[in-house]
Amino acid sequence: MLGHLKLMAVSAIALTAAVQSASARDLVIAGWGGNYQDVQREVYFRPFAADKGIGFTEATYLGGLVEAKTMADTGNVTWDLVIVEGADLQVGCDEGLFEEIDWSQVPLKDELIPEAVQPCGAGNVVIGTGLAYNRDTVGEAPTSLADFFDTVKWPGKRGLRAGPRFNLELVLMADGVAPADVYKVLSTPEGLDRAFARLAPLRKDLQFWDAGAQPVEWLAANNVAMTFSYNARITAAKNEGKPLEFLWVNPIYSIDAWAIPTGAPNRELALEFINYANDAARQAAFSTRMPYGTTNVKAPELMTPEAAAEIPAGANIETGLFFSDAFWIDNGDAIAERWNAWVTQ
């Protein structure tokens, strides 16, 4: 009998102990995983935490607003910082899911490109998205986005980011639409039909990725013959000796920004981090290893010419397209619905 009571008492105590959540917690930073987050950790997270004498915990983020919305609805804000895409930043900001940034607390503001200074976010990197391949297995190297669609010359699976964003733009450019006209065409029903029609012959060969590290892995393992991917992940893997290449023809460039979920317990610290991450020298160090573009205008001068040549800027994006957040905020749901229907046909 006593033993039984003891068991119950122990269980009650253990449960309470398990339930207790940390009261003063580490700075929690959510990033996009893979080598992107590895370099962020070394250039930003670790030194910042060491500077402040605090601990930090990392989370993986796969895009979207689910986590931010859940945090806002339940009041249980588990992240202090998250690096988001422009469209999500704006929607989240409008709905009050992200804290408004007090830019007066960010001394480095004046060194930033204007697109980086947002009401609820601080642009930190410029991402290039385009065609990538494995030069050891691809055979003849592709030279244009149109080659992505040539499954006769290049048989094998094709990797695409899950969902229609980025993909439809790249498809239209592959179909000969000039970058400046892409969103004009995409706004019309005929343009949308055109994009889907161009993609239709590939449907059976597509494989969709959620995490930016996946296309890199897939290319390296030869699971796909070509893929759309983010430029820096490919180049960073290449610099580590993997036989991967990114094609700087008609890339799309977009901005990832740091945002603070509303009610984050460490929001003052998070704001300090935002300033910290916009320092020219640190951005240069980051982009040297992870060649995304910088948002601090002084950063490229601090990089070697070879490193600066790998980032989505200058000649690399001459044939490029600046990703439109506004287009996707308005039309994203309808197009995503059609996309899903098309994928599952």
Partner 1 sequence: MSKVVYWVSLSFAFFFLAAPLLIVLPLAFNDSSFLTYPMEGFTFRWFGVFFDTPPWLSSLANSFKVALGTTLAALLIGGLAAMGVMLLGRWGRIVMSALFVSPLVIPSVVLGVAMAYAFGRAGWGGGYLSLVFAHTILAAPLVFLAVTTSLMGLDPELDRAAASMGASRWRRFHTVTLPLAMPGFATGALFAFITSFDEVVVALFLSTPQTQTLPITLFSSLRDRLEPTIVVVALLLSIVSCLFILALNRLQRRGAGR
Partner 2 sequence: MPKLKNSQIAALTLLALPVLVYLALYLAPLASIGRLSVDNGALSQRFPALSARFGETEAPDDAAAAALLTDLKAMARTERAEAGRLFNQELGGMRSLIIDTGGAATQIEPTLSALTAFDPRWGEPAIWEVVRRNVEPITWRHFQRATGLKPSAEGGFEMSPGDDVYLRILLRTFVIGLQVTALTLLIGYPLAYAAATGSRRVQAVVLMAVLLSFWTSLLVRTTAWVVLLQTNGLLNGLLMWLNLIPEPLQLIFNRFGAVVAMTHVLLPFAILPMINVMRTIPAAQTQASRSLGAGPVESFLRVYFPQSLRGVAVGGGTVFILALGFYVTPALTGGPGDQMLSYYIADFVRRGLNWGMAAVLSIFLLVCVVALLVSGALLRRAFGWSRSSAASGGTG
Q: Which residues of this chain interact with partner 2, rule CB under 8 A?
A: 62-66, 69, 91, 94-96, 156-157, 162-163, 204, 206-208, 220-223, 329-336, 340-341, 343-345
Query: Interface residues for partner 1 in 65-104 (CB under 8 A)?
Result: 70, 73-76, 78-79
H/E stretch holding 231: helix 231-239
Count Cα atoms within 13 angstroms, Cβ side, for 224.
27
Backbone angles phi, psi at 135, to 5 degrees: -70, -20
Residue 61 is given by DSSP the state -
Tell me whether residue 162 or residue 329 sits nearer to partner 1 (CB atom): 162
Tell me whether residue 66 or residue 197 sits nearer to partner 2 (CB atom): 66
Q: How far is the CB of 12 from partner 2 (least distance, A)?
A: 13
**Partner from partner 2, partner 1, none contacting 257, C-beta within 5 to 8 A by type:** none
**Partner from partner 1, partner 2, none contacting 95, C-beta within 5 to 8 A by type:** partner 2
**Partner from partner 1, partner 2, none contacting 60, C-beta within 5 to 8 A by type:** partner 1
The answer to whether residue 111 forms part of the interface with partner 1 (CB under 8 A) is: no
CA 85 – CA 123 distance, rounded (Å): 9
Beta bridge partners of 56: 27
Residue 256 is given by DSSP the state E
The answer to whether residue 57 forms part of the interface with partner 1 (CB under 8 A) is: yes
The answer to whether residue 9 forms part of the interface with partner 1 (CB under 8 A) is: no
Residue 100 is given by DSSP the state P
**Partner from partner 1, partner 2, none contacting 152, C-beta within 5 to 8 A by type:** none
Nearest of 8, 276, 295, 243 to residue 127 by alpha carbon: 295
Query: Interface residues for partner 1 in 154-213 (CB under 8 A)?
Result: 210-211, 213
- Number of residues in contact with partner 1 under rule CB under 8 A: 36
As given in the structure block, the two tokens for residue 88 are 């999500």
Residue 85 near residue 63, CB atoms below 8 Å: yes
The answer to whether residue 54 forms part of the interface with partner 1 (CB under 8 A) is: no
Residue 253 near residue 158, CB atoms below 8 Å: no
